[in-house]
Structure 1
Amino acid sequence: MTGVFAGFATIAVVIGAGMLLAHLRIVDTAGQRTLSAVAFYLASPALLFTVLLDSDLGRVFSGNVVAIVGGVVVTALVTLLVAVLRREELGRTVIATMCSSYCNAGNLGLPIAAYVLGDPALIAPVLLLQLLVLQPLALAVLDVAVSPVRLSVAKVLSRPLRNPITVGSLLGLLVALSGVEVPRAVVDPLELIGGMAVPAMLLAYGVALRLGPLPGRGVAPGDLGLAVGLKLVLQPVAAYVVGRLIGLDDASLLAVTVISALPTAQNVFVIATRYDRGTLLARDAIFVSTLGCVPVVTGAVALLA
C-alpha cells in the first residue's frame, strides 16, 4: 500500500510545483500551452517509443485485457449515450469519454502494479491498449471534429499515422515485434527527451489549476460527477463482472479491478488543451478522480486481496 500513497504524493508535489510557478507569475497561460505542446509533440512520443521497446507483447492477449476492455466499453457507451441525449458537440464528447474511461496507467499505474499487485508488468496491457487503440481512435475523431472542412475517408484514416504520439507508439511496437536492437546512441537521447513528458504534463496541469477557475467551478457539477462516477465506480465494477464471467482467478480479478479504478490520465488534459475541447472538464475530472482513487483502490484491495 506504500506504493499507492507514494505514487499519489509524487504527482501532488509536481502539480503543486506547477501551481507555484503560476502563482509567482513565472509561467503564464502561454507558458502552460507551451509545456503541453512540448509534451504532446516531442516528449510523449519519445517516452512511448522507449517504453514499448521492452514490452511483453504476449500479455496483450491475456484474459485480463478482456476484462479491462469490458470496463472501458461499458463506461464509454454510457458516456456516449448521455452525449447523444444531450446533443453535445463531438469534440467535447470525445474528451468526456476519455475522462470516464482512460486510466492513468503510467505514472500511477506502474507503482500501484508494482507495490500493490506485486507485478509491474500487469500494467503493460492497458498501456498498450490505450496507446495503440483508444488514443489513436480518439485523436482521429478529434481531428475530424476540429477540422474546418469535411475530411475524406482517406484523410481520416491517415490522421493517426500523422499524430506524433501515435507514431511514437507504433514505431516502438514495431521495433519490439521485429527484435531489432536499437543502438544506445539512438535510445539514450530519446530516453532523456521522454523523461520530460510526465513532468511537463503535470506542471502544465498545475499551472492550469492555479490560473483557471477552481476545480468544480468551471464545469457543471452533473457533468463532473458523471465522468468521475463512471471512472471510479462503474469501470472497475464492470471489469470485475466481466472478469468473473470469463473465469479469472482471484489475483487477476484484483488486478483488473484496481487497474480499472485508476484515475483519469493526465494526458487527457494535454489532448483537451491541444484540441481546445472540454479542457476544464478534463482538468477537473483528473483532479477529483485522483483524490477519489485513493479510497477506491484501498477499498478494492481490502475486499478482494
Structure 2
Amino acid sequence: MQGVFTGFATIGVVIAVGALLAHLKIVDLTAQRVLSQVAFFVGSPALMIVTLSRADVRNVLSANLVATTIGVIVPVVIYVLCARFLWRRSLGDGTIGALSAAYVNAGNLGIPVASYVLGDAALVAPTLLLQLIVLQPIALALLDTDALGRSPSFVQLVSRPFQNPLTVASLIGVVLSLTGWTLPDFVGNPLELLGGVAVPAMLIAYGIALRLGPGLGAAGSVAELATTSLLKLIVQPLVAYAVARFALGVEGHALLAIVVTAALPTAQNIFVHATRYDRATVLARDTILITTMGSVPVILLIAALLG
C-alpha cells in the first residue's frame, strides 16, 4: 500500500509546486501554456520513444489487452452518447471529454503503482501501449480535424495523425521495440534527458492552472464533470473486472493487475492536449483533480478485495 501513497504523494507535491509558483506570482497562465507546449512538442515525444523502445510490445497480445480495451470502449461510448444527445458538445470538446473519462495515468503514476503494489512495472505495459498506439493517435486525429474547422480530405485525414509529434514518436518507439534496435548514446541520452522534462512540466502547468484558472465545476455542466469522473473511477474498473473475470477467466494476481490499472486516474497529459487544442480545458482539469483524489480509496478497496 505504501507504493500507492508514494505515487500519489509525488504527483501531488509537484502539482503543489506549480500552484505555489502561481500563488507567489512567479509564473502566470502564459507560463502554464509554455510549459504545456514544451511537454507536448518536446518532452512527451522523447518520453514516448524511450518508454516504448524498452517495452515488450508482444505483451499487448494478452487477456490484459482485451479487458483493458473493452474497459476503455464502454465509458467512451457512454460519454460520447451523453455529449452528443444531452450536452451537444463539439467534436473537439467531446474528444477531450471522452479521453477524460477513459484515458488512464499509466505512465508517471501507473508505473510506480505497478512496481510497488503489483510487484512488476511491466504489468502496466499493455495499457500504456494501447493508449499510445491506438487511443491517442485516434483522439489527436479527431482534435486536428476539429481544429481545421472543416471536413478534411481523405489524404488529410489519413496523414494528419502522422504529422503529430506524439504519434510519430510512439511509432518510432514501437519499431525500436519490435526490431530490438538500440539508439546510439549520442541520440538516446539526449532523448532520455528531454523525456524527463515531460512529466514535471505537465504537473507544474496543471498546478498553475488549478491556482489561476476557473474554480472547480466552472466548465459549465456539473453533470458532465460528474459523468466523466464516475465513468473513470467506477465504470471502467468494473467493466475491466467483469470482462477479465467472467469472459476470460482471469484470476488472482493477473486479475488484480487489470482492475488496478483500469482504476488509475485520468492522465495529466489529457490536460496538455486540452490546452494545446483549446478544447474542454476546464473539464479535463477538473476530471483529473477529482479522479486523482478519488482513485486512492478506489485502488485501496480493489487491493483489499482482490489482493
> Fold conserved (TM > 0.5)?
yes
The aligned counterpart of 2:266 is 264
1:85 positional shift: 1.1
Do structure 1's residue 31 and structure 2's residue 28 form an aligned pair?
A: no
TM-score, normalised relative to structure 1: 0.98
The aligned counterpart of 1:228 is 229
Query: In the alignment, residue 12 of structure 2 is paired with which amino acid?
Result: A
Paired with 1:117 and 1:151, the residues of 2 have a C-alpha distance of: 44
1:296 positional shift: 0.2
223-232 or 82-91, which deviates more: 82-91
Query: In the alignment, residue 207 of structure 1 is paired with which amino acid?
Result: I
Q: Secondary structure at the match of 2:150?
A: coil
- For each residue in 1:85-105, what CA deviation from the matched residue of structure 2 results, as whole angstroms up to 9, or x when unmatched? 122211111011000000000
- For each residue in 1:132-173, what CA deviation from the matched residue of structure 2 results, as whole angstroms up to 9, or x when unmatched? 100000000111111133310110111111100111111111
Q: How many residues align?
A: 305
Q: Secondary structure at the match of 1:195?
A: helix
| Residue correspondence of structure 1 range 32-47 to structure 2 within 5 A | 32-47=32-47
Paired with 2:166 and 2:220, the residues of 1 have a C-alpha distance of: 28
56-65 or 266-275, which deviates more: 56-65
Query: In the alignment, residue 292 of structure 1 is paired with which amino acid?
Result: G
The aligned counterpart of 2:277 is 275
Q: CA RMSD in A?
A: 0.9
Query: In the alignment, residue 291 of structure 2 is paired with which amino acid?
Result: S
Indicate if the aligned counterparts of 1:100 and 1:230 stay in contact, CA closer than 8 A.
Answer: yes
Structure 2 residue runs of 5 or longer lacking an equivalent are none
Do structure 1's residue 122 and structure 2's residue 123 form an aligned pair?
A: yes
Do structure 1's residue 248 and structure 2's residue 250 form an aligned pair?
A: yes
The aligned counterpart of 2:198 is 197
Indicate if the aligned counterparts of 1:219 and 1:280 stay in contact, CA closer than 8 A.
Answer: no
The aligned counterpart of 1:72 is 72
Q: Secondary structure at the match of 1:11?
A: helix
214-223 or 246-255, which deviates more: 214-223
The aligned counterpart of 1:139 is 140
Paired with 1:127 and 1:25, the residues of 2 have a C-alpha distance of: 36
37-46 or 212-221, which deviates more: 212-221
Identity %: 53
The aligned counterpart of 1:82 is 82
Query: In the alignment, residue 79 of structure 1 is paired with which amino acid?
Result: Y
Q: Secondary structure at the match of 1:271?
A: helix
Query: In the alignment, residue 163 of structure 1 is paired with which amino acid?
Result: N
Structure 1 residue runs of 5 or longer lacking an equivalent are none
1:219 positional shift: 4.1
Paired with 2:57 and 2:151, the residues of 1 have a C-alpha distance of: 37
Q: Secondary structure at the match of 1:127?
A: helix
Query: In the alignment, residue 295 of structure 1 is paired with which amino acid?
Result: P
254-263 or 213-222, which deviates more: 213-222
Q: Secondary structure at the match of 1:167?
A: helix
The aligned counterpart of 2:6 is 6
Paired with 2:89 and 2:240, the residues of 1 have a C-alpha distance of: 27
| Residue correspondence of structure 1 range 54-69 to structure 2 within 5 A | 54-69=54-69
275-284 or 140-149, which deviates more: 140-149
Paired with 1:61 and 1:85, the residues of 2 have a C-alpha distance of: 35
The aligned counterpart of 2:169 is 168
Indicate if the aligned counterparts of 1:50 and 1:172 stay in contact, CA closer than 8 A.
Answer: yes
